[in-house]
Structure 1
């Protein structure tokens, strides 16, 4: 099978927090936009927290996150996967993004937020052992994926308020 590839990070110069997904789904890869699936809760949550509402053009949403000091990326640079589910990623095909260079470019990042369990597991297993960054703190939040439909949007939004607290309290 042919590998799929993530895209570059959203990375403001003043980034203070990094939100990590695992690998973009099919809709996101086709649109070349983070969290492009219409039922993904990411942009509705970012709309509630920071005004980056899904109705806005993508570039406007990205600029809002950048202005807040929020970087967005994926743990994986590439992998083999059929469909969009993290469970379908071929573990033997993983290639992790270059986090050492990323954190060197963004020395003000102190907190990494994982968008779901797969992002956290992949980062801790494949990226973290190579990093020597003891100043970072980590939080796993509920996945915004439509596949994680057991949790209501309202409850996801409450959990994701952690980002706001990290940035402003």
Structure 2
């Protein structure tokens, strides 16, 4: 049983998850860092109002129930799911609260999957972090960097309340339909 001090510390220091990797990835979808709800559940997009899994479910024409079904949907669509950041400091879940960001190793990822050219960002914050923490700091091979096609999608976070889930789905479908 904890006295609560570790909980407070872990709420400030955040460590991301391992990627979900399909056998033949066609699309890399990146968030920033898992939310507090996701960290507590130890899986991507666990907040009940996050639209990510309902959107992916519509793309595979079924309701996604449980972690295994969500992983299977990513595999079916060829989605490699990960976050830009491996570590950061953050109070709460807001991307604007991220401090001391440390990116995942994208050099190794792109070397392992040279066919992976499309990178979609779940929101503008993920795109900005990828630009500042990966494109400007990691020594990506220039041929890898120039071949990447970057796509910024509306955030599925419940904090992005200006769009309804149906609008988010339509925008995601419009930008990704040719890739999936």
TM-score by length of 1: 0.92
1:24 aligns with 2:24: no
Q: Secondary structure at the match of 1:123?
A: helix
Q: Is the 8 A contact 2:84 2:129 kept in 1?
A: yes
What is the total number of aligned residue pairs between the two structures? Answer: 164
Q: Secondary structure at the match of 1:94?
A: strand
In 2: Cα distance, 1:57 partner to 1:29 partner:
16
Aligned residue number for residue 163 of structure 1:
176
Q: Is the 8 A contact 2:57 2:73 kept in 1?
A: no
Aligned residue number for residue 14 of structure 1:
24
Q: Is the 8 A contact 1:53 1:61 kept in 2?
A: no
TM-score by length of 2: 0.87
Output one character per residue of 1:53-93: Cα deviation in whole Å (capped at 9) or x when no partner: 34x11111111211221110000000000000101111xx1
Aligned residue number for residue 162 of structure 2:
150
Output one character per residue of 1:75-128: Cα deviation in whole Å (capped at 9) or x when no partner: 0000000000101111xx111000001111212212000000110000011101
Greater shift in the superposed pair: 24-33 or 123-132: 123-132
Output one character per residue of 1:1-57: Cα deviation in whole Å (capped at 9) or x when no partner: 652100100111300100000000001011111100000000010011123634x11
How large is the RMSD of aligned CA atoms in angstroms?
Answer: 1.3
Structure 2 stretches of 5 or more lacking a match? 1-8
Structure 1 stretches of 5 or more lacking a match? none
In 1: Cα distance, 2:60 partner to 2:113 partner:
21
The 3 A distance-change label for structure 1 pair 61 and 52 is farther
Larger radius of gyration: 2
